[in-house]
Chain A
């Protein structure tokens, strides 16, 4: 009971300091979601990871420098500046090293990430060993600690996030072009180098302000998960980017609130786990490409194909036998289907009203007759089409289309039909092709 009320208090931002921190972090979530969506679409997710790890020596270096100049090393802005410099340096070093060595991206990123982080750890060791140094708090950059965030930090984070967001929105059109078709962009005179640099600067900015909230190991999640999750819900660019912002904000809000409840709930972990849950949820039930939707689709396709096979088998069996009815036993050798599957297909066709069950077996209804004829005709047109136009990649043809004309156009269908009428015996089957529309 106590837990529930305190969570509610926090979610509703009852406490002033918590309120500022949570709002600041949520703004960060929006900015990270939006910028990260671009990063995901540009397929640069791991570059962001490398850059954020490589920021550690920047943070510690800034601390050491400030310490040396007697600043006490506690200026938050100074540490972030160090992080930003190191991040930009890493982002710049990766393409340079790739060109110089001819090695693949992943190897270069691994080297920069591991080496950079190691350098940071080594420098941290120095900072800890230095007499009189107060390096406490530096480690919070590794894991993040919203709890230690004060009002000024949160306001700084919020303002930076809003500015970043604004720039991202203004450049959305250019980023869309860059991510979708960079060579066309170049042909329009957009310098992809400039745009990529702009994107990296935005990402580094978000990463830097995100360090305090989630830490440099996990900040990459804040960037990439919202965009990846949003993709399951929409096929539209603006909607996807906006949704990514929303997901980022929700996760940060929830995460920061929950972690404010107890001291041993690190905010970074909670935010990332919230994000991961949202991702998992999106992947399952997303309305555009969620797993459930795709399972339903593939079941539908299976059902439809089964129905088409049944109608075709029935029609062809009726033609060859010259009767009006058929039995399961007659159809079963026509395809590799089990009797139980065949029975199930019959049951569902009866429910659709395409066939009826009668004493001698099954018969087509009026509407079933029309449907069966169309299935047979379409099938034969397709076969003919594929034979005549084998040069066209078959994967580009929607063979399930009800009306062949929608896909191939009236003229081609008319041409195919002429051929079909002229050569029916040779072409498809020994059965007469009665009822061809």
Chain B
């Protein structure tokens, strides 16, 4: 029976992932408090590229990254990294959360925080040893903070805290880095330092997906762009994708009717 799609019954769809992509997202829907913030996201980021996620406030940029790492429950969808589910390639993936997510008053030094990046490889019960401390020190050096290793983290400036987080990701020696607003409220010098590190990583073959909020610098820093506003508006190489039309579609107002339906729909899909 050959029927047009409308008559096909709704079936659980199989995944059609691009096996070459560093991260491949299929049909991802995420809801906060019953209200969908990401809709049917389909996305492939090719291996070895420096990609930015850009979109207005509340577009679901951080949500996308968190959902990829199972930090948020998904309503639907499937995420593959290097062709496998995240759990089986966990050690190849590093995450840089937003700075605000942690208590900077916590009694740890910069070096301690960076050494946390090695916990994944260390596993349970094994303590942090000399090798891990060395790796952490090296990572701090790469972000230009080796002088601050022993400082308690609240005594670092915002930009330095951000760089500590970056160093923690570096220490993981991952193939895929997911970063949530690493440039948020950092000074110009820090921003440059971070960009240098990102480019370094990229040229050593890693893939980086970075939430970015500044449209003015995005073309300069990144080569691949994902325009996001509740759904992926466009994604691809910077030159082809960063067009006025796409920007308008991303930032040009909200889909009011869709939002109106979203709350009711959230209730429907969450409860099942």
Contacts and interface: CB of A to CB of B under 8 A. Distances in A.
Given A177-B116, A189-B87, A397-B157, A234 B107 contact: yes
Chain A residues touching B, majority SS:
helix
Contact of B158 (A184, A189, A396): A396
A396 B157 contact: yes
A396 B189 contact: no
B108 A411 contact: no
B70 A186 contact: yes
Contact of B97 (A170, A183, A393): A183
A181 B180 CA distance: 14
A185 to B, nearest CB: 8
Contacts of B168: 184
B189 A398 contact: no
Contacts of B94: 187
Given A186-B70, A408-B187, A408-B189, A235 B119 contact: no
B108 A237 contact: yes
Interface string B64-82: 0010011100000000000
A189 B109 CA distance: 23
Contacts of B157: 396-398, 407
A389 B107 contact: no
Interface string A209-239: 0000000000000000000000100111101
Given A396-B157, A411-B189, A183 B125 contact: no
A188 interface: yes
A173 to B, nearest CB: 6
Contacts of B19: none
A173 B127 contact: yes
A310 to B, nearest CB: 28
Contact of B120 (A189, A240, A409): A189
B71 A412 contact: no
Interface string B145-157: 0000000101001
Contact of A236 (B66, B90, B93, B107): B107
Contacts of A189: 87, 90, 120
A192 B202 CA distance: 31
Of A183, A186, A397, chain B has the most CB atoms within 10 Å of the CB of A183
B185 A393 contact: yes
Contacts of A398: 157
Interface in A171-215: 171-174, 176-177, 179-181, 183-190
A393 B158 contact: yes
A392 interface: yes
Interface in A9-63: 41
Contacts of B108: 176, 180, 236-237
A396 B112 CA distance: 22
Contact of A235 (B109, B128, B158): B109
A117 B158 CA distance: 46
Nearest to B95: A187
A90 B119 CA distance: 32
B255 interface: no
Contacts of B60: none
A395 to B, nearest CB: 8
A180 B69 contact: no
Nearest to A174: B124
Choose among B119, B128, B154 the residue with the greatest number of A CB atoms under 10 Å from its CB.
Answer: B119
A173 B152 contact: no
B188 A389 contact: yes
Contacts of B187: 389, 392, 396-397, 408
Given A183-B66, A189-B120, A396-B187, A237 B97 contact: no
A189 B189 CA distance: 33
B12 interface: no
Interface of A: 41, 170-174, 176-177, 179-181, 183-190, 231, 234-237, 239-240, 389, 392-393, 396-398, 407-409, 411-412
Cβ-closest 8 pairs across A and B: A235-B152, A396-B158, A188-B120, A187-B95, A409-B189, A181-B102, A240-B107, A189-B90
